[in-house]
Amino acid sequence: MGMAESFDVNAYWLKRGRGYATERLPGEYHRLQEQFLLSVLRDGGLPMNRVLELGCGFGRITKLLANSFPQTEIVALDLSPEQLDNARRHCAGLTNIAFRRFDFYSGEPFPGTAPWDTAIAIEVFLHHPESLLRDLITRLAQVTSFIVNIDWSERWAWGTPEHVWIHDYAALYRDAGLQCATFVLPTKVDGLQPRLFVAGRELPDAILKLERQLGGSDPRADNCSSTLPPVVDWMQRLERAIAALRHTIPGNGAVILVNDDQWGCEAKALPALRLIPFLERDGRYWGAPADDAEALRELSRLQKAGAEYLAVAWNAFWWLEHYRAFNHHLLRCPRILATDDLIIFRL
């Protein structure tokens, strides 16, 4: 399942990179993810002298690697100049990182001096189509001994957003002539199971042993204990939010929907409403605002074009803290619904 052929991946991420400076998922999840990654890297005996990080974003994993492996030379790549600036600030004082701008689609050699020991991509591969990913894996296999990625690989019960593809990573690595070990992270996110994959021409015995110990690719395996609180079921919250919109907004109402373009089913589920993604370009989602000024400017534009309501979904509640002036403006509007799943303002 993937995006339309007309979808411009780079344009989307360049736009989103201007305002994406926080994580959607709970902090507990990221702490657990980071601990799991470090455990596999260390206990699996992967070489970490020279590391290539793909899609570093604002530097969350980059900083983790630099602090955990202080002797490691890290080259961290991202398409977005703004995200690279964010990452440099986030990793200030760490001298073992070189940040470089890089376009996966350019066909150019990876920046820095090959070969690398390990290439790492955390929640990056799922944002690119299979054709690009096959080429990327082939190119990585020529310049690095091992590839490590964390992604979701299950089919979604709801439609995927335009910027998400679902891949069979083990099959992709196998097709590239690589061995692959699969590790199931000890928690689900929105009902889906994240997995960590390690691929290489020949995997270390320690990685294969660790795969057996942790339960491998069997999603039923109790591969690790976790104190992470259970994530509220995504589908239940989605159904409640859709029902709330249906019952609160009159038919044919024009609603600005702030949901990070994560639902994938709103047009089909709410055909009577005029749903407007935010930010919006030509009727399509265009990423989060770069700042409060852009959010307010775009809100004013859509109001003048006829938008009557603005709804913020639970998975985008982070907007109300990140964009403080935008939130302050909304609080001056009548709030006609406020639940744990959805807040609706009349504009």
- In the chain, where the domains are located: 9-213, 234-346
- DSSP, res 110: P
Q: Which residues contact 8 (CB under 8 A, 6 or more apart)?
A: none
> Is pLDDT above 60 for 174?
yes
How confident is the model at residue 216, as a pLDDT? 56
Separation between Cα atoms, residue 147 and residue 170, nearest integer Å: 12
Identify the residue with better confidence: 288 or 188.
288
Q: Which residues contact 66 (CB under 8 A, 6 or more apart)?
A: 72, 74, 91, 94, 96, 97
* pLDDT 10s digits, 65-95: 999 999 999 999 999 999 999 999 999 999 9
> Is pLDDT above 80 for 23?
no
Residue with tokens 């691929």: 199
Tokens of residue 95, six digits: 């001298």
309-314: average pLDDT: 95
> Is pLDDT above 60 for 2?
no
> Is pLDDT above 80 for 264?
no
When pLDDT is cut at 50, 70 and 90, the band that residue 215 belongs to is low
120-134: average pLDDT: 95
Q: What is the CATH number of domain 9-213?
A: 3.40.50.150
* pLDDT 10s digits, 219-237: 433 444 333 333 346 678 8
Question: Which is nearest to 341 in space by CA: 265, 260, 252, 232?
Answer: 232
**Range in 34-38, 182-186, 206-210, 284-288 with the lowest mean pLDDT:** 284-288
Evaluate the CA torsion angle 269, 246, 273, 189 in order and state its sign: negative
Separation between Cα atoms, residue 151 and residue 171, nearest integer Å: 14
Burial of 36 (C-beta count, 10 Å sphere; 0-12/13-18/19+): buried
- Which percentage of the chain shows pLDDT scores above 70? 88
196-223: average pLDDT: 78
Residue with tokens 């057996």: 212
> Is pLDDT above 90 for 303?
yes
Identify the residue with better confidence: 225 or 266.
266
CA dihedral (326, 331, 337, 339) in degrees, to 10, reads 70
* pLDDT 10s digits, 313-339: 988 888 898 899 999 999 999 999 999
How confident is the model at residue 322, as a pLDDT? 87
How confident is the model at residue 299, as a pLDDT? 97
How confident is the model at residue 172, as a pLDDT? 97
> Is pLDDT above 90 for 151?
yes
Identify the residue with better confidence: 31 or 145.
145
Mean pLDDT of the chain: 87
How confident is the model at residue 224, as a pLDDT? 40
For 230, other C-beta atoms within 10 Å of its C-beta total 8
> Is pLDDT above 70 for 8?
yes
119-135: average pLDDT: 96
Separation between Cα atoms, residue 343 and residue 121, nearest integer Å: 34
How confident is the model at residue 236, as a pLDDT? 80
Identify the residue with better confidence: 233 or 185.
185
How confident is the model at residue 218, as a pLDDT? 44
Separation between Cα atoms, residue 127 and residue 150, nearest integer Å: 12
